[in-house]
Chains A and B, each alone.
Chain A
Amino acid sequence: MRFRRASSDSWELREIHPLFATLLVDLPKAASRHKKAQARLYPDPTGGTGDEELRRDWKEHVRPELERLFSTSRDIVTRDLESLGPNGQGGKVVIPENHIDAWLNALNQARLVIVEENRFAESDLDHREPPDLATRRGLSLLKIHFYAHLQELLVEAAG
């Protein structure tokens, strides 16, 4: 897979291996499975110090804003991925420069969700051995690493 500047205001992913294309197509879906990751996606701003008023205000006013932001990011990524086709056979994804933040956000949502779903610990994520792709857990780890790689590329592009 190659990541390069496509024009003055866009980047592109091309020559995408079919396996990685599948992982890309799955990104918005993975990012939207918030059920098991609520506490991490919407953390307590007080850190559990018992400021009930702040916690209540946060739930009422901030959380809906965050939900909107996360949903908008996933929608933008979904639209950018349309060129790839449902099975990733399109072979190319164009990412406009002003969509990079949405991509970073959606990638982070997906990684957080997958970590929570699989209860991965820091040691699992730091593991340098290739994941065992014969297991669901191994595939999830591959997905996390692939999304992290994409994030690194996009952070560099954003910088």
Chain B
Amino acid sequence: MTRNIFPTTPQEFGRRLLADEPVIFHCNHYNYWLQKTLLMVEDMGIEDLLVDAAAVQGYVITQADPDKSPQERLQTAADTFAQNGFGRIDFAGVNDQGGTVTTPNSHYGQCLSAACNGDFAVAQNFFDRGYIAGAVAGAFDLPLGSFAIETHTCFSLKAEQARIQLVRKTSPAELFPAAGAGFGTRVSCPPVTGDTTIDEGAIHQALAGLDFSGNEEGLIPRFGVMLTDHFANYYNRISFEFVQRMKQTGLLDYAEELLIEAGHRCAFNTFGGIMTSPEWDAVVLPQCQKREDWIYGICSVINVLGWGVWRVHEVSPEHLVLRIYDDYESRGYVAMYGRATRNICYLAMGGAAGLMNLVFSGNIHEKPTLDEAFYERIFNSDHVFSSEQTKCMARGDQYSEIHVRKS
């Protein structure tokens, strides 16, 4: 299928830019758990935050080529949505005053249910609503925030059709600006070192043979999960704004714990899914001779996700020292809020601890069933691995560093 999309531009440290915005891979389980985590807190405008943070991402896509007509730009927005695994959008029913948009497929509307035990209480397609509202505003060269969502239906609430009705606002809302590529330190990244048989270059070459674009439904079923090639600054904005708002109510530590827990869930489902997938068996497993190689191997895979470069500095069955070069959380944080005063690599902290729990506590090499009972057993045990961040690029360090030890 031919899609009218902007090329994704490779950057240093495995990062990729789409219309000058960084994109990274995450799966439906992390998307579910992060959203669920943020929505646990009421009365802080989180639902609006989820929509507004997506609006700017749709806006940058339709503002990226001003020589195109509004219809062409909306087609690009729809094709980008499909290419990156978010689903499909039909913009035929909108003009510069608003209208009705449908999403025949939706990652957030249809694929989060795999991670949810039970029915949803609220529609899950916040991202779709924001992206669509922003894309329409940008396509007609209107200010970001020009459209409100009047009504919507969502597959997650068992609607037969997903419809989003936009209405033009009399005065545009002021929304978050685009954060762009962010800021790194430009320090050079060392090669893989240590006692391992993992050949990162060979793994990257093999993974380059896989198609990670959205299928005809605009979805990406890979590694036994549904992937999205998502906007890094969407994750950054909703996570850091959540922390900012929680901080104002005296719940900063709790907010950070919640985001690290979302990182545990990411590790469990995304990394666990990868390490039990046929893709892993074909590409990485043949290089693994000992348990530590699984840590090196999964880091090599992580390094194609666009998250920055994860380097194992030290690893044993008891501890891990991980150095992350150009991590996406730090880059986005500095672009949005300036230099940090606290460590902010929540996803990385949760993910690093999760790796150790999977490999050394959970015996992931035995291909256990990644269900809730298994999660509880390895992440809520008395000897669970936990993380401490000792360096943070957002605080001015040259790289981010995480120590993982058993409690």
Do A and B actually bind?
A: no
